[in-house]
Amino acid sequence: MFAKVIIDQDAKAIDKVFEYIIPDNLAVVPGMRVYVGFGSRTVQGFVIEVSEKCDFDESKLKKIISIIDEQPAIKKEMLEVMKFMVKKFHLKQASILRLFIPAEMREGKVKELFEKIYSLSNKEINIVKNAKQQLAIVDFLKEHGEGSSVYLNGTFGNGAVRALLEKGVLIETQKEKFRKPLSEIKDDKKVNLNKLQESAIEKIAGNRTYLLHGVTGSGKTEVYMNLISRELKNNKTAILLVPEISLTPQILANFKARFGEEVAILHSGLSAGERFDEWRRLYSGEAKIAVGARSAIFAPLENLGIIIIDEEHEQSYISESNPRFNTHEVAKFRANFNNCPLVLGSATPSVDSYEKAKLGQFELVELPTRANGKEMPQIQIVDMINEIRSGNSGIFSNQLLADLSNIINNKKQAMLFINRRGYSSFMRCRDCGYVAKCSGCDVSLVYHQEDNRLKCHYCGKQFKVLDRCPSCGSEHIKHGAVGTEQVVKKLNEIFPDVKVLRMDNDTTSKKNAHQRILEEFRNTKPCILVGTQMIAKGHDFEDVLLVGIIDADQSLYQSDYRSTERTFQLITQVAGRAGRGETQGKVVLQTYAPRHYVYKFVANYDYKGFFKKEENIRQTAVFPPFSRIVRILFADFDEEYVRQLVKMCYNEIVKLKEEFKDEFLYLDVMKSPIKRMQNKFRYQILMRLKLSKADEIESKAFEIVDKLSKNSVFFEINPSNMS
C-alpha cells in the first residue's frame, strides 16, 4: 500500500504531494500524521490519501517511518475542506492542515490524546553496554519520570523502544485527564419564544444559507439555542461562531447553562491545555456543539446539523494574516458537505450578504423588534462643530454632560464608547469638518508617520500633509484622536465622586481582567464604563440607560470603501447596549459631520434605507459587491528580488488585461503602504475586476504569479486592511 503525504513544512517548493510506502506493520489511514524521511531528515507529514498503486517509480519510494497518532487527527471531511481551501484561497496545503489541529498538538507542548506515555517499570534493568539508545532511554526516564511515545521513538528510534518494551522495562499508560475551562455557572433562563422567533426557527429548516436580520435585543441568541437543540435531538452536531471580541463570559455562561457538557468552547483566552482538551472532546463526539471564534469553523465535528455565524458582518471573519481565508466560504462548504443550513445572524448585515439575500441567493429571515417588546433607544445626534463655535472645545458636548449628570443623580449607569480603530489615521479640519480625500478614489487618505505624508491605500497616490484646511482656510486641521485614558481623566475631573471604569486592550491584557471589570461595573451604581470596541457587543446590563459615542466619525474616514458600512454597524451595535431593561435608553452621538447620510439612517434604525443608499453608491462606483478587488502581496527580505518579481508578474498581468479588456476596472502596481514589515520588503499588485469573469482572471493571475515566484504570494479578495 502507498500513502500520499503532505510534508508539514513551510517552503513553497515542498508544498506538493509525496508518495511513501506503507510498511505492513503500520495501519495508516488518510488524515493521519506520520514521520517520514525527507532528504536526509525525518519530518512530520499528513497522509491525505492511501492507495493500492503508486503514481511514481516504486523503487525510488521510501517507507513511512512511524505514525504519530493512533487515529487520524484530520477527519475525512476536513481533507475535503483542505482541497476546497487550496483552490479557493490559493493557500499551501500544509498551512491549511495546521489550522485543523490545535497548535499545541503540533508543537508537542501538551500531552497528546492518541498517545502512549512510557515510564520505567520496577523490573530489573538488564541492558548490554553497546545498546546505547536503550541506555539513553533509561537515563532519560530516570531523569524525567516519563516520556511520550512520539518523543522517545523520534529521539531514540523505534527499535530501542520496542526492545525495552519486550524486556518489560517500560510500562505504557494512556493519560486521559481533561482540563475544563472555567466558566461562571448560571441557571438556564427559560423563555417562551415569541411568534417572530418561532417563525424564524420554522423557516430555517432547509439546506440553504439564511440571513437572520434581527435588531439588537431581538433575541437572536435564543433562536440559535433552539435551532441547535433541534439538531441535537436529531443526533446532529453544531457550530456557533461569534467574533472573538463578543465571546463574553455572559454568552458562554448561557450556553453552558443550556447545554452543559455538550458544548465545547474554543477561544484565545483558554490555556493551551484547555483548548486542546476542548478540541479532543469535539473530536471524540463527547461534545456536540463548538462555540468559538473564527477558527472554530474547523472544529473536528462530524454529522453537522447546523452552522451559525453570529454578527456575520464582522471583519474578523476574514483572516488577514496567513493563511488568509474567508470564514463564510469555509462555512458554506461544510454546510453543503453536510447538507445542513448555514445561518448568518446580524442586526446590521454586511452589504455583501444583504445583496445576496436581495438576489435570492440567501433566504432573508427577520426579527424587527426587541424580544421584550421595548422601544429601541432614542439616538440624538450632536454637532461638535457647533459646540466649538459656541465655545466648548472639550471632548464632551453640553448635551452629553447633562445626560451624564442625570444618570449619576438617578444612580444608573452609562457607557462611553471610543472608536480607536481609526486611530490617528485621517486628517480632519476641526472647524468645518473637511476630511482629506484622494482625488482619484474618493476614499480618505491615510496619514503615514514615517514619511509624514498622506497616502491613498487604493491607488497609491501620495499627498503633502495639510497645514491649512483647503475648504475653509482654518489652521485647526489635524490628525489624531482622543483615547480612553484621556476620557477617563476628564471624567474624573468633572465627576470626582463617580466611579469610572476603563476597558480597552491595555486594561484587559491579564487573564479574567475582562470579566472582573464587567463584574465591578454590574455591581456599581452610578458608574461610567469607558471603552473601545470591546464594550460594543453582547453586553446586557439593564441599568445602562445612556450610551455616549465620543467621536462617531473615527471609523467613517478610514481609507476603505466599507468605512461607511462599518460606521453604521458599529454605532448600531453600541447603541444597542442602552435601555435593554424596563426603561427606554438614550444614545448621544457626537460627530463633526452631522449631515453625513449614515447618521440619519442610524438614528432611525433604518437598515434598509442605509442599504439602498450604500448599494447605490457601490453600484455607481463599481465597488464590491459589484466588483472584486484583488490584492496580490509580495514580500521578501531581498528588495531587488521582490521588485524584479513584482515587475515580471505585473507585465504578465498587463497581457491578461489586454486579453480581458472590458473586465479590468483598475490595475496597478506599487509599494505596499507599509513598505517593510518584519524586515521584508512589500510590494503589491492591485486590481479591481468586474464580476463576470473575476474567477477566471483571478486564477489566471494566480498561475502567473505562482509560476514566477519562489515563495508563496498572498492573494487577498476585497481586503479591508490594505496595509
| Residues at the interface with ligand ADP (CB under 6 A) | 189, 191-194, 197, 214, 216-222, 371-372, 540
Instruction: Output the smallest distance, CB 212 to ligand ADP, in A.
Output: 9
Q: Name beta bridge partners: 210.
A: 343, 363
Cα–Cα–Cα angle for 144, 148, 151, rounded to 5 degrees: 95
How many other C-beta atoms can be found within 10 angstroms of the C-beta atom of residue 234? 9
User: Looking at beta carbons only, is 284 or 372 nearer to ligand ADP?
Assistant: 372
User: Looking at beta carbons only, is 563 or 572 nearer to ligand ADP?
Assistant: 572
Strand ranges for 550-647 from DSSP E: 586-591, 627-636
469 contributes a contact to Zn ion by CB under 5 A:
yes
User: Looking at beta carbons only, is 337 or 666 nearer to Zn ion?
Assistant: 666
Coil, strand or helix at 372: coil
| Residue 456 touches which of ligand ADP, Zn ion, none (Cβ within 5-8 Å per kind) | Zn ion
User: Looking at beta carbons only, is 271 or 474 nearer to Zn ion?
Assistant: 474
| Residue 459 touches which of Zn ion, ligand ADP, none (Cβ within 5-8 Å per kind) | Zn ion
Instruction: Output the smallest distance, CB 189 to ligand ADP, in A.
Output: 6
Q: In whole angstroms, give the CA distance from residue 510 to residue 530.
A: 18
| Residue 193 touches which of Zn ion, ligand ADP, none (Cβ within 5-8 Å per kind) | ligand ADP
Q: In whole angstroms, give the CA distance from residue 40 to residue 36.
A: 10
440 contributes a contact to Zn ion by CB under 5 A:
yes
472 contributes a contact to Zn ion by CB under 5 A:
yes
User: Looking at beta carbons only, is 71 or 372 nearer to ligand ADP?
Assistant: 372
| Residue 472 touches which of Zn ion, ligand ADP, none (Cβ within 5-8 Å per kind) | Zn ion
432 contributes a contact to Zn ion by CB under 5 A:
yes
| Residue 156 touches which of ligand ADP, Zn ion, none (Cβ within 5-8 Å per kind) | none
CA contacts within 13 A on the Cβ side of 271: 9
Q: In whole angstroms, give the CA distance from residue 156 to residue 163.
A: 12
Which residue stretch of 145-153, 159-167, 238-246, 465-473 sits at the interface with Zn ion (rule: CB under 5 A)? 465-473
Instruction: Output the smallest distance, CB 94 to Zn ion, in A.
Output: 37
**Out of 405, 471, 584, 723, which residue is the one contacting Zn ion (CB under 5 A)?**
471
456 contributes a contact to Zn ion by CB under 5 A:
yes
Cα–Cα–Cα angle for 292, 297, 303, rounded to 5 degrees: 110
User: Looking at beta carbons only, is 11 or 472 nearer to Zn ion?
Assistant: 472
Within 8 A by CB and 6+ apart from 587, the residues are 377, 378, 379, 380, 546, 547, 548, 549, 574, 575, 578
User: Looking at beta carbons only, is 222 or 231 nearer to ligand ADP?
Assistant: 222
User: Looking at beta carbons only, is 561 or 568 nearer to Zn ion?
Assistant: 561
Q: Residue holding cell 483572516?
A: 319
Which residue stretch of 268-276, 439-447, 670-678, 708-716 sits at the interface with Zn ion (rule: CB under 5 A)? 439-447
Instruction: Output the smallest distance, CB 225 to ligand ADP, in A.
Output: 9
| Residue 469 touches which of ligand ADP, Zn ion, none (Cβ within 5-8 Å per kind) | Zn ion
Say whether the peptide bond before residue 349 is cis (omega within 30 degrees of 0): no
Instruction: Output the smallest distance, CB 561 to Zn ion, in A.
Output: 11
Do 340 and 207 contact (CB within 8 A), yes or no? Answer: yes
Maximum separation of any 2 CA atoms in the chain, in Å: 94
Which residue stretch of 346-354, 367-375, 434-442, 617-625 sits at the interface with Zn ion (rule: CB under 5 A)? 434-442
| Residue 532 touches which of ligand ADP, Zn ion, none (Cβ within 5-8 Å per kind) | none
Q: In whole angstroms, give the CA distance from residue 17 to residue 657.
A: 33
Q: Name beta bridge partners: 544.
A: 413
Which residue is at the shortest CB distance from ligand ADP? 219
388 contributes a contact to Zn ion by CB under 5 A:
no
**421, 357, 328, 441: which is closest to 686 by C-alpha?**
441
The 3-class SS string of 216-269 reads CCCCHHHHHHHHHHHHHHCCCEEEEECCHHHCCHHHHHHHHHHHHHHEEEECCC
Instruction: Output the smallest distance, CB 539 to ligand ADP, in A.
Output: 9
Coil, strand or helix at 168: coil
Interface with Zn ion (CB under 5 A): 429, 431-432, 434, 438, 440-441, 456, 458-459, 461, 469, 471-472, 474
